């Protein structure tokens, strides 16, 4: 986490959290979702326009990625100064880029290693790593197939719906918050 973020958190400790405004797609792209976009539906719904506007400003993306983390409930967020901006996930909290030597880099640039390889009923390929579970980037599925064919990775079958519980992440913090508020 950036020092400037830590300083802002200390200076303004009671800033309310933000839900629904930031999304991470299955290719590791960040999307901004204002109120009209959120009204179109959930980030992962597939509805036209519901993802929002893809962020393209490299310094903003780098800032988000340096300050990307997970809370105790398994909700992923971007710590924006004193405010947590919770992230809607299209698939998983991580998106992996597979290198020619089968090493991995997250969409955030962090290096990691594969500890398990999983495939769901739709053929999506996931890798378990010390950082957590992530989806293999669509452009790297061929490279991942080489890792499987070479015996470096062994594929295990999994149901997509089981992944959030099994790996402790919340795909929609906004949905979790809404459900919690309804119960109160």
Same domain, 123 and 161: yes
Secondary structure (3-state) at 73: coil
User: Which of 174, 3, 162 minimizes the C-alpha distance to 92?
Assistant: 162
State the residue range of the domain holding 46: 3-91+169-183
Same domain, 160 and 142: yes
Cβ neighbours of residue 136 under 8 Å, at least 6 residues apart?
A: 95, 96, 98, 124, 125, 126, 127, 144
| Number of domains composing the chain | 2
In whole angstroms, what is the distance from residue 49 CA to residue 31 CA?
11
Same domain, 151 and 174: no
Same domain, 15 and 63: yes
Q: What is the pLDDT of residues 10-49, one digit of tens each?
A: 666 677 899 999 999 999 999 999 999 999 999 999 999 9
DSSP state of 161: G
0.85 surpassed by pTM: yes
């Amino acid at each position: 986490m950036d020092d400037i973020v830590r300083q802002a958190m200390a200076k303004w400790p009671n800033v309310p959290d933000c839900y629904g405004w930031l999304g991470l797609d299955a290719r590791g792209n960040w999307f901004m979702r204002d109120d009209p976009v959120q009204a179109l539906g959930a980030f992962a719904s597939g509805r036209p326009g519901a993802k929002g506007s893809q962020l393209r400003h490299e310094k903003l993306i780098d800032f988000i990625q340096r300050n990307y983390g997970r809370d105790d409930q398994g909700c992923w967020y971007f710590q924006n100064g004193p405010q947590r901006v919770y992230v809607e996930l299209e698939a998983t909290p991580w998106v992996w880029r597979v290198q020619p030597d089968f090493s991995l880099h997250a969409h955030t640039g962090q290096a990691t290693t594969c500890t398990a390889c999983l495939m769901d009923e739709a053929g999506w390929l996931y890798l378990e790593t010390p950082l957590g579970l992530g989806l293999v980037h669509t452009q790297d599925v061929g490279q991942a197939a080489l890792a499987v064919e070479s015996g470096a990775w062994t594929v295990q079958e999994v149901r997509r719906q089981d992944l959030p519980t099994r790996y402790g992440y919340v795909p929609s913090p906004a949905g979790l918050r809404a459900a919690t508020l309804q119960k109160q």
